[in-house]
């Protein structure tokens, strides 16, 4: 059984609380970023792993522009649930 939203971790790309564990290769349904453990300190690095030739920095920029970590993932993503938004983002959505 999955964790409740309160016990989930924030996606490093979109910031939504969708991941069961950090860096565990979980796929975020909101932005379609696969969390390989990349963080702010190496966000510009292209790791050539599960996210291909996409850096976390690029994925964040795409998410801000189109709502997915890359436009090719638009058919697969969904809007975040209110409970998945971080408090600062949830306040801004009201």
pLDDT digits (tens, 9 = 90+) for 37-84: 999 999 999 999 899 999 999 999 999 999 999 999 999 999 999 999
* Global confidence as pTM: 0.85
Written as one string, the DSSP assignment of 32-86 is --B--S--GGGTT----STTTT--HHHHHHHHHHHSSSSGGGTTT--PPPGGGS-
Q: What is the pLDDT of residue 94?
A: 45
Which tokens is 92 given? 């801004």
Q: What is the pLDDT of residue 93?
A: 47
User: With contact defined as beta carbons under 8 Å apart, do 68 and 32 qualify?
Assistant: yes
Q: What is the pLDDT of residue 5?
A: 63
């Amino acid at each position: 059984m999955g964790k409740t939203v309160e016990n989930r971790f924030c996606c490093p790309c979109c910031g939504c609380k969708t991941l069961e564990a950090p860096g565990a290769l979980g796929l975020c349904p909101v932005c379609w970023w696969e969390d390989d453990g990349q963080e702010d300190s190496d966000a510009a690095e292209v790791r050539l792993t599960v996210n291909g030739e996409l850096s976390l920095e690029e994925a964040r920029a795409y998410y801000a522009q189109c709502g997915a970590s890359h436009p090719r993932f638009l058919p697969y993503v969904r809007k975040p649930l209110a409970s998945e938004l971080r408090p600062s983002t949830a306040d801004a959505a009201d």
